[in-house]
């Protein structure tokens, strides 16, 4: 079988890659303050619960072992079914843990609300995100350029995203920058992120959106400010114009689209998409046809 040979080749390859880059796109190696904040809350919650989970598991195993029927040394208490003190303990341990965790949830949920602006001296960079079938459109309204399937951001500058969808649900997510937020048709969500180091990060849609979903992967590139300005200048210098006709073309379903940029964007495009004032994505080409194929 061909597949066996593929595995034979790929396993060593993957193992070779694993050690040096095993945390490359891990949510545990944050590249910005939001993912760092999310990560702290995640690890806090984990540690708080492990403090009760591990002893419980060990006790389970210990009781199971000690009270096995063949152990003559264990005391049999056939009628021991109630203990007020233990009941109190049984209810209060989980309650106290959840009480504590509830505090973490309340504070974390407010501090790390994706809509919250980040505290920073620098003025935020505005980026408008439109989810399409099956590619991402990133509009830079302050710079007047747009990019398909590649998000380029400056390091150390707060990023303010407005997110919507011209089609079905998607979910905008760059794991190493932090929080993800839905892209929903007819609605605008907001997300505030920041990259605090340069790098090329994995970006993806975390909400299944149809047959081309696996190709809604994009590069998120964080560059020093000078290089970012240079990228904007290059984008302005070439590429097509994102006008009404250009947008119409984007509404057609396509997969695995190579990144490219637009030198200009028609004004108010994002608001028009969010307000459903421009056409929606087309959907499959042959409408009404019965695609054959079973489960």
d(CA 76, CA 43): 41
* Binding residues among 125-154 for another protein as defined by CB under 8 A: none
Give the C-alpha separation, 59 to 76, whole Å: 18
Q: How far is the CB of 223 from another protein (least distance, A)?
A: 21
| 99, HSE (Cβ side, Cα atoms, 13 Å) | 6
Near another protein in 193-222, by CB under 8 A: 202, 204-214, 217
Sole binder of another protein in the list 135, 162, 176, 223 (CB under 8 A) = 176
Q: Which is nearer to another protein, 17 or 245 (CB)?
A: 17
Are 135 and 183 in contact by the 8 Å Cβ rule? The answer is no
36 lines the binding site for another protein (CB under 8 A): no
Residues 193, 178: contact at Cβ < 8 Å? yes
Sign of the CA dihedral 39, 43, 49, 54? positive
- Residues between 70 and 129 with contacts to another protein, criterion CB under 8 A: 74-83, 86-87, 89-91, 93-95, 97-98, 101-102, 104-106, 108-116
Nearer to another protein, 179 or 227 (CB): 179
Residue with tokens 């149809």, as numbered in its chain: 210
**Distance between CA 29 and CA 286 in Å, rounded?**
44
Residue whose CB is less far from another protein, 172 or 228: 172
Q: Which of 33, 154, 158, 178 binds another protein (CB under 8 A)?
A: 178
Question: At closest approach, how far in Å is the CB of 253 from another protein?
Answer: 9
Single residue of 118, 126, 179, 227 touching another protein by CB under 8 A? 179
Q: How far is the CB of 222 from another protein (least distance, A)?
A: 16
Least separation in angstroms between residue 225's CB and another protein is 26
Q: Hey, which residues between 15 and 34 contact another protein (CB under 8 A)?
A: 15, 17-18, 21-28
Cβ-contact 133, 210 below 8 angstroms: yes
**Which of 44, 187, 166 shows the shortest CA–CA distance to 115?**
187
Q: CA 153 to CA 121: how far, in whole Å?
A: 17
Contact 30, 41 (CB under 8 A): no
Closer Cβ to another protein, 74 or 237, answer by number: 74
Among positions 42-61, residues that touch another protein (CB under 8 A) are: 42, 45-46, 49-50, 53, 56-57, 59-61
């Amino acid at each position: 079988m061909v597949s066996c040979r593929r595995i034979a080749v790929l396993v060593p390859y993957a193992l070779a890659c694993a050690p040096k880059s095993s945390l490359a796109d891990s949510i545990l190696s944050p590249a910005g303050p939001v993912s760092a904040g999310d990560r702290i809350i995640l690890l806090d919650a984990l540690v708080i619960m492990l403090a009760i989970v591990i002893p419980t598991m060990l006790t389970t195993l210990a009781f199971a072992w000690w009270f096995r029927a063949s152990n003559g040394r264990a005391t049999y208490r056939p009628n021991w079914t109630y203990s007020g003190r233990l009941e109190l303990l049984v209810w209060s341990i989980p309650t106290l843990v959840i009480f504590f965790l509830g505090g973490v949830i309340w504070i974390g949920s407010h501090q790390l609300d994706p809509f919250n602006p980040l505290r920073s001296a620098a003025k935020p960079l505005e980026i408008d995100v439109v989810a399409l079938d099956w590619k991402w459109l990133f509009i830079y309204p302050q710079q007047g350029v747009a990019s398909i399937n590649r998000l380029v951001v400056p390091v150390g500058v707060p990023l303010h995203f407005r997110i919507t969808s011209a089609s079905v649900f998607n979910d905008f997510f760059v794991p190493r920058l932090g929080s993800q937020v839905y892209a929903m048709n007819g609605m605008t969500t907001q997300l505030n992120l920041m990259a605090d180091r340069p790098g090329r990060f994995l970006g993806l849609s975390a909400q299944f959106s149809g047959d081309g979903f696996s190709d809604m992967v994009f590069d998120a590139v964080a560059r020093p400010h000078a290089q970012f300005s240079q990228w904007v200048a290059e984008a302005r210098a070439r590429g097509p114009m994102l006008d009404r006709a250009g947008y119409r073309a984007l509404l057609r379903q396509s997969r695995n689209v190579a990144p490219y940029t637009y030198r200009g964007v028609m004004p108010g495009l994002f608001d028009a998409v969010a307000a459903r004032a421009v056409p929606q994505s087309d959907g499959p080409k042959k409408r009404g046809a019965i695609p054959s194929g079973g489960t």
